Amino acid sequence: MNKSFKVLFQNSLFFIISLCAIALQAQNKKNNAPKIKLGADISFDSKKHNYGELDETMKFASYRFSFTNTGDAPLFINKVESSCGCTSPSWTLDSIPPGGKGYVETRYETSNHLGQFHKTVTVYTNVPKTPFVYLDIEGNVIRPKATFIGAPTPQSIGSLVFEKGAVIFEPLYDNSVDSQYIKLTNTTLYTTNFTPINPDDLPPYCKILDFPSSLEPNEFAKIKVIIDGKKAPGYGFGAFQVPIFSDNVVLPAMGLSITYKRSQYFPKYSAKELAKQPKIEIAKPMHDFGPQTSGDYLFCNFDIKNTGKKELVIKQIMADCPCFRFKQHKNTIAPGETLTLEAIFDTVTKNGAKTIGCEIVTNDPINPSKYIYVKAQFQEKFSLKCPTCD
């Protein structure tokens, strides 16, 4: 081996040994580098528990949800919240090391909570990827048959109660939408589950919002009732009732009464603008037929004149009794024009002195509602009476 080749061989060998040393050093650094911590993690054995049927007299029913810290850092629970005051939670207060176990215990109050229930408990932790977990409990609280001697009465076990007899919209203007609230309270001993309100049970101009799906004993809900005055029919008084159904053993069916008095809306006119509006005049608003024999049809006329500057529109004619009606007529009266209304008075079953009124609603901003009347005196000879005007 000559001298130059020997030098080249020694240099190459030194270079290979250096590369191996560098690679070995890098591998040692990689093996000795600290591992990246992923943080705490929580894994429950189960997240839902069904108690089945619970006797109300047991007062409380408890269940413990167990979990494991499957992370690589200590786990701790910040807080636990229940969806209802009838459920009180407790939990492991100390931190749980990796691989350690803990619990969340739910305690459901059965007293005065008859019926099916489904409650949610929210667990807040220091887990980075899932900081909260939902746990569910459900069951059915029953009362022993021997608890009551005889049938229970509404007076002894309460009822479902609205805070007032009806939701009243007065006035309900024909150019706007109005809304009101009414409170419904469950004063019975039973958890009450409601059937959703059927939209077909509501008139097309009414909506009901925030109706509860269930109410616990002594719990209440504020229900929002909306009436569209632009769509409600007619003027004057109107009423309807919304049927409400539930599984409450005391009051499984009830009704929400809604009444309104629909009125026209008129803007605030100046004196000059008011002088340009339509104006209704009825020269003789009362027609007296005098003594009559029951059973006949009586006829008379009423003259309605528009003494204003704009077209007078008859929006509604509503008599107090169907026995007082009118022949077909037009509903608009030009300025200065007179419309003759031909009235028919059905006197079947009429006894004694009778006065029947009829309201005429127009677009006269000063007198939007005017009354006309028919009057007569009948002999007292019928035992039957008119169900509307008597």
Asked if residue 175 and residue 256 are part of one domain, the reply reads yes
Which has more confidence, 26 or 312? 312
- When mean pLDDT is compared across 283-287, 345-349, 362-366, 386-390, the lowest value belongs to 386-390
Residue 129: pLDDT over 90 = no
Asked if the model's pLDDT at residue 228 lies above 90, the reply is yes
Last residue of a domain, one of 90, 110, 145: 145
The amino acid present at 329, given as its one-letter code, is H
Residues 308 and 356 in one domain: yes
* Residue 242 belongs to a domain: yes
* 346 and 246 in a common domain: no
Clarify whether residues 241 and 336 are in a common domain. no
Band of residue 327 on the pLDDT scale cut at 50, 70, 90:
very high
In a domain, 218, yes or no: yes
**Any domain includes 246:** yes
| Average pLDDT rounded to a whole number, residues 316-343 | 93
Does 283 fall in a domain?
yes
CATH number for position 196? 2.60.40.10
Contact 110, 189 (CB under 8 A): no
| Alpha-carbon dihedral angle through residues 318, 323, 329, 331, given to the nearest 10 degrees | 0
Q: Mark whether 259 and 165 lie in a shared domain.
A: yes
Q: Name the domain boundary from 263, 296, 314.
A: 263
Residue numbers of the domain that contains 82: 42-145
Beta bridge partners of 359: 318, 371
- pLDDT tens, 139-167? 988 876 544 434 443 333 468 889 888 89
- Count of domains forming the chain: 3
CB 90 within 8 A of CB 105: yes
pLDDT digits 0-9 by tens, 260-317: 999 999 999 899 999 999 999 999 999 999 999 888 899 999 999 999 999 999 999 9
User: Pick from 263, 280, 303: which residue ends a domain?
Assistant: 263
> Does 196 have pLDDT greater than 70?
yes
